[in-house]
Amino acid sequence: MVHHSSFVDEEGVRKACGCPLLPLKSHIKGPAPVSDQDRTDIVDEAITFFRANVFFRNFDIQSPADKLLIYLTFYINVALKRLEGCRTLAEGTKAIINLGLEKVPVPGESGFPFPGPFF
């Protein structure tokens, strides 16, 4: 069974590219609001549901937060593939930092992995 996001009734949440800017547990300032450390955020959900959701070819989008969950699942998969050849913690850290610094295609650009659901 596909796991959907629990962030379905987020009233007043700003959106970017059809995805909600949900609160994140972070100390870094950005466009997303800061979440309490004791609450589950969308990243926690993506990590928790990754193993189950990665096996499904079809995912019925029930809320804008599901779009973000799909993208985060994809990003986790890419990160794990980058870590596959790393033999040390230093190599793995460098690979993830470099992944975070890469230019990421956004909806509407060629190379974006999910052109349909994000419009």
User: Residue 20 is inside which H or E element, if any?
Assistant: strand 19-20
More confident residue, 25 or 116: 25
Write the pLDDT tens digit of every residue in 11-22: 778 887 778 888
Q: What is the pLDDT of residue 15?
A: 80
pTM (2 d.p.): 0.82
Rounded distance between C-alpha atoms, residue 9 and residue 53, angstroms: 21
Write the pLDDT tens digit of every residue in 83-115: 999 999 999 999 999 999 998 887 778 888 877
The per-residue b/e assignment along 1-23, b for 16 or more CB within 10 angstroms, e otherwise, is eebbbebeebeebeeeeebbbbb
Write the pLDDT tens digit of every residue in 33-64: 888 888 889 999 999 999 888 888 788 888 88
